């Protein structure tokens, strides 16, 4: 989709991807992606690295859920921004679908983003904006970013990641802030080079819970551009959940705080929610 079309829709090269979260929610970054439920190992992948990532995905990130999230963003010389959204996540046949709905501010309220994983990695992105003079639909095939004033945030930060697009290599045991971790370096597969602005990442996973503690995102220049730190993790309904994450944008000197407000791990999410037809009806 052309950038000018996206701007007209009010999304401007929309993505939403996370995080991590997982990280986001951390994803982070936040989004996302075990064993058989996440798909087969990739050719040439490091088995130890894959297992570390898949433990996190299967035990935390890949669970049906409805989450209420808040985003606060600050940047030198810019106004402070506050954004809230509802994130509906459904896992079916090993693939995740994410439906995000902006709740506040009023100018953004009602915007919808549907992210559907595809077998073997990658995802389809479809965004709708209520009241648009166009046809309300924006299909995103390039960079996945949500933009609002000074805020630019990637899917990897809001729903946690698209980790199936990467191969993962275990780099050894590390101690970070006094916490024993396993370090995994991830490299974007060449076929997805246009689908992410971060061809390389490093993730520190806690040895005790398997949850991420820190996520480093390297841009196409090879330089470290963003750092996602998991500041709080809670066990909710037996599931380790990222409750608060912080994203540091080293280029813009911006700081984004992602906070979990409420989560329901036993939602009755109909398949019909994760379709273009639902977006078309809900955005009227």
Query: Tokens standing for 124?
Result: 């389809």
Please report which confidence band the pLDDT of residue 25 belongs to, taking 50, 70 and 90 as the band edges: very low
Is it the case that residue 187 has pLDDT exceeding 70?
A: yes
pLDDT of amino acid 178: 97
CATH of the domain at 80: 2.50.20.10
CA distance 84 to 188: 30
Closest CA to 252 of 109, 169, 153, 182: 153
Please report which confidence band the pLDDT of residue 206 belongs to, taking 50, 70 and 90 as the band edges: very high
180 falls within a domain: no
For residue 114, CA distances in Å to 18, 126, 128 come to 13, 5, 9
* Average pLDDT value for residue range 240-256: 92
More confident residue, 224 or 280: 224
Read off the pLDDT of residues 107-135 as tens digits, 9 standing for 90 and up: 888 888 888 887 777 777 777 776 654 44
Is it the case that residue 194 has pLDDT exceeding 90?
A: no
Answer whether 36's CB lies under 8 Å from 57's CB.
no
Read off the pLDDT of residues 69-102 as tens digits, 9 standing for 90 and up: 999 999 899 889 898 999 999 988 878 888 988 8
Is it the case that residue 64 has pLDDT exceeding 80?
A: yes
Q: Is 77 left (phi over 0), alpha (psi -120 to 50) or beta?
A: left
130 falls within a domain: yes
Q: Percentage of residues in the chain with pLDDT exceeding 70? A: 71
Answer whether 20's CB lies under 8 Å from 204's CB.
no
Give how many domains the chain has, as a whole number. 1
208 falls within a domain: no
210 falls within a domain: no
pLDDT of amino acid 158: 54
95 falls within a domain: yes
10 falls within a domain: yes
For residue 278, CA distances in Å to 46, 128, 216, 281 come to 40, 10, 35, 5
pLDDT of amino acid 245: 92
pLDDT of amino acid 131: 60
183 falls within a domain: no
Is it the case that residue 35 has pLDDT exceeding 90?
A: no
By residue range, what is the domain housing residue 156?
3-165+227-282
152 falls within a domain: yes
Read off the pLDDT of residues 139-175 as tens digits, 9 standing for 90 and up: 443 335 555 555 565 555 555 556 778 899 999 999 9
pLDDT of amino acid 8: 38
């Amino acid at each position: 989709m052309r950038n000018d079309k996206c701007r007209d829709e009010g999304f401007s090269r929309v993505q939403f991807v996370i995080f991590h979260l997982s990280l986001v929610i951390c994803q982070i970054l936040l989004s996302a992606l075990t064993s058989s439920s996440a798909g087969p190992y990739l050719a040439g992948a490091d088995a130890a690295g894959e297992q570390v990532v898949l433990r996190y995905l299967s035990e935390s990130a890949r669970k049906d859920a409805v989450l209420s999230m808040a985003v606060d963003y600050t940047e030198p010389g810019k106004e402070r921004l506050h954004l809230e959204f509802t994130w509906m996540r459904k896992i079916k046949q090993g693939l995740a679908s994410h439906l995000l709905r902006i709740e506040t501010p009023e100018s953004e309220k009602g915007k919808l983003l549907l992210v559907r994983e595809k077998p073997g990695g990658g995802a389809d992105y479809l965004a709708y904006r209520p009241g648009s003079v166009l046809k309300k639909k924006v299909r995103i095939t390039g960079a996945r970013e949500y933009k609002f004033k000074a805020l630019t945030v990637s899917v990897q930060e809001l729903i946690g990641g698209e980790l199936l697009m990467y191969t993962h290599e275990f780099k050894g045991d590390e101690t970070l802030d006094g916490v024993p971790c396993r370090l995994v370096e991830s490299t974007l597969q060449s076929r997805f080079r246009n689908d992410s602005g971060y061809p390389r990442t490093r993730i520190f996973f806690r040895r005790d819970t398997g949850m991420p503690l820190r996520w480093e995102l390297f841009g196409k220049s090879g330089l470290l551009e963003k750092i996602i730190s998991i500041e709080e993790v809670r066990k909710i309904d037996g599931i380790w959940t990222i409750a608060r994450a912080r994203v540091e944008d080293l280029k813009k000197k911006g700081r984004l705080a992602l906070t979990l407000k409420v989560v329901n791990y036993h939602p009755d999410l109909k398949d019909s929610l994760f379709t273009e037809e639902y977006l078309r009806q809900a955005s009227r």
